[in-house]
Structure 1
Amino acid sequence: MMKKLTKTIKTEWPPPKQPPIEMYDDFTMFGRMPLDKNLWYFQEKYLGNMKSTPITKEEIQFKITARALRWKMSTYGIVEEDLLQAALIKYSQGVQDKIGLDFGSSDPWITSIALLNGASKMYMFDYIKTVSLDDEIETLTQLQLYRIWHQQLTIMDENKLRESSLTRSKKGRKNHSLMFDFAISFSSIEHSGLGRFGDPLNPYGDLEAMAQMWCVMKPGAILFLNVPFHQNGSSLVWNAHRIYGYNRLQHLTANWKILQEFNSCQLTNGLMCDGGFAVLWVLERV
């Protein structure tokens, strides 16, 4: 699973406008995640590219201030930002003075909220390469994420994983004896494997991405997870994203313990309770 991060896999570009016939049943779970008739097609080749502007201390401070004042700070809505804030506050013991992973975002709004809520250091991982000029934030490529996992596999037992932290050698080179105390993935996993961002087509890309996060997190670590959800069931909106019903969600959260669900229906006192309301799950790595 993790070794896939080290390989350059030839991808089809532009991505197909329909799921390939040989993968159709796997993408649609043999009809249990039906293809939405309203296609939403994208060509956004992020994989391997470099973001044009670096992350700066000033940008992070602005976003932290915006969140403190409850100003909109992302491409999502205030309610979605409130969901994450509420979950981080409720599970603050797993965040404060801890090292976190922002999985699947090149915009540091998630990382900023984590730092606002007491995280000591954040690492950002995404398809697109990003440079950080802020000492509290580091960015990871696919190869670097693999190395973190591989070093743990070879030199640390389960007890040492609980005590591991990022250290530096005398020469100043990073020694990736690191496992994450918590992770946040917000509206990211649902895209994996659909080819939208230049990634290889993979019907199980979302499940593999969850497994990759599991591999670099400490036992007992907390994952704050958001994906599109609908009470009426799962669907595939090609090639934009997956929408999760309970039948796909149970596979997505395998090997995790669900601690709590935060949703927009609760947060807005019943004002946002349609079938596709926003949901954030708090999961524990088991």
Structure 2
Amino acid sequence: MWCLRRITSSDRKSRDLVETSFGLFNITPLEKIRRDCGELCDTSRLGTPGPFFDHITAKIKCQALFKNSLIDREHGQVEAPNKIPKVLWNEYTMNGRVEIFNYYFDEHSLGKRKHIAIPVWTQSGIDELIQLASQGKLSGNYGINNTNALRDALKHSPGVKDGRVLVIGSVKPWAEACVLEAGAREIVTLEYGKIVSEIPNVKTMVPYEFRMAYLNNTLGEFDAVVTYSSIEHSGLGRYGDALNPWGDIIAIARGWCVTKDGGSLTIGVEYNNNLDYIRFNADRCYGKIRYPYLTTNWKQFYRGFSGKGIQRVHVFTK
């Protein structure tokens, strides 16, 4: 059973705080997130063997996950957290099954575009990227090999061609260029910070807009979801987001909620089947322990080739 240990006090506000290396930490938001997340965030659930790793299922409370504004909150500190609070240790390590290493970044200004110019995506810019992709020469953010690994996976992703595609996490539209090159009809990009898109068939949203559109029934469904080197940062605080041990799992579950039956999830994250770990607060590496929970309810469909480094693309279907 999930439990957070509190410091004792007769004052309710004080009882919601726990001591950490960087001061008092309010656990109440995480208790509320855990309540709405339900069995989705129970990483002790057993799965069944799948083609690449275990397949995990859970009842996902979509309405509750989108209503809960605490999921998208900022950590509100001057600097990004550099240590996992002891009270959250078991949740981040999945009760000791995931190793923790130190690798620290403070890039909260990037998350909300503070003190930097808002990116503007232009038609001429995306056309150039699409042309490079079609020639197999687009370096993207992670080099030509990784870009081509994503392009290969998109050829095996149901719903991308002629479809409406949700892209999660993007500052430069290299992934969008790959999706358009694969034949997508329309893209909606979800990103922490504001982006201005001048491309008619590429729209952008920040989390609040995305959440409100879902709750107002104006978001619509997607034929496919694509994300590359984004989800593994969710809930670690590096980009200004609040600490959340299930941030990555919830982000993918929300994608599941808005995907049509028969649609797909194409995801590229750091992957090592035999070693799951967190480099706090930089990123996560997924293997046979956490990957099944990250992709709860999604059916394993295709494993792409490895690019340069340990990023690897998998395709799942709903």
Per-residue CA deviations over 1:181-206 (Å, capped at 9, x if unaligned) read 11101111110000000001011111
Conserved? CA contact 1:186–1:225, under 8 Å = yes
Residue in structure 1 matched with residue 174 of structure 2 by the alignment: 109
2-side partners of 1:33 and 1:74: how far apart? 30
Residue in structure 1 matched with residue 266 of structure 2 by the alignment: 224
Bigger drift between 45-54 and 12-21 goes to 45-54
Residue in structure 2 matched with residue 87 of structure 1 by the alignment: 153
1-side partners of 2:81 and 2:166: how far apart? 31
SS in 2 for 1:231: coil
Residue in structure 2 matched with residue 195 of structure 1 by the alignment: 237
Q: How do 1:117-128 residues align onto structure 2 when only pairs under 5 Å count?
A: 117-128=182-193
**Which runs of at least 4 in structure 1 moved beyond 4 Å after TM superposition?**
5-10
- Aligned residue identity for 1:3: K
2-side partners of 1:226 and 1:211: how far apart? 16
Provide the aligned length of Structure 1 versus Structure 2.
250
Conserved? CA contact 1:11–1:201, under 8 Å = no
1-side partners of 2:211 and 2:151: how far apart? 29
2-side partners of 1:129 and 1:69: how far apart? 30
**Among 126, 129, 132, the residue aligned to 2:197:** 132
- Aligned residue identity for 1:220: G
Conserved? CA contact 1:180–1:216, under 8 Å = yes
Residue in structure 1 matched with residue 105 of structure 2 by the alignment: 42
- Aligned residue identity for 1:205: G
Once the two structures are aligned, what percentage of the paired residues are identical?
31
- Aligned residue identity for 1:49: R
Conserved? CA contact 1:190–1:241, under 8 Å = yes
Residue in structure 2 matched with residue 180 of structure 1 by the alignment: 222
2-side partners of 1:87 and 1:113: how far apart? 10
Question: Cα 1:135–1:5, aligned 2, differ >3 Å: closer, same or farther?
Answer: farther
1-side partners of 2:112 and 2:260: how far apart? 28
1:79 is displaced (CA, Å) by: 1.8
Residue in structure 2 matched with residue 247 of structure 1 by the alignment: 289
Question: Cα 1:214–1:65, aligned 2, differ >3 Å: closer, same or farther?
Answer: same
- Aligned residue identity for 2:66: M
- Aligned residue identity for 2:249: L
Tell me the TM-score normalized by structure 2. Answer: 0.74
SS in 2 for 1:72: coil
Conserved? CA contact 1:194–1:238, under 8 Å = yes
Question: Cα 1:68–1:9, aligned 2, differ >3 Å: closer, same or farther?
Answer: closer
SS in 1 for 2:197: coil
SS in 2 for 1:238: strand
Per-residue CA deviations over 1:187-231 (Å, capped at 9, x if unaligned) read 111100000000010111111111111122112211101111113
Superposition RMSD in Å: 1.9
**Among 255, 264, 275, the residue aligned to 1:213:** 255
1:72 is displaced (CA, Å) by: 3.3
Residue in structure 2 matched with residue 233 of structure 1 by the alignment: 275
1-side partners of 2:274 and 2:297: how far apart? 24
SS in 2 for 1:222: strand
1:8 is displaced (CA, Å) by: 4.5
1-side partners of 2:111 and 2:119: how far apart? 16
Residue in structure 1 matched with residue 313 of structure 2 by the alignment: 280
Conserved? CA contact 1:106–1:124, under 8 Å = no
SS in 2 for 1:145: helix
Residue in structure 2 matched with residue 4 of structure 1 by the alignment: 68
Bigger drift between 72-81 and 207-216 goes to 72-81
1-side partners of 2:135 and 2:226: how far apart? 22
- Aligned residue identity for 2:177: S
Per-residue CA deviations over 1:115-158 (Å, capped at 9, x if unaligned) read 11111111111111100011111101212211332234xxxxxx
Question: Cα 1:10–1:191, aligned 2, differ >3 Å: closer, same or farther?
Answer: closer
- Matching of residue 65 in structure 1 with residue 131 in structure 2: yes
SS in 2 for 1:30: coil
2-side partners of 1:4 and 1:130: how far apart? 24
2-side partners of 1:18 and 1:8: how far apart? 19
Unaligned ranges ≥5, structure 2: 1-64
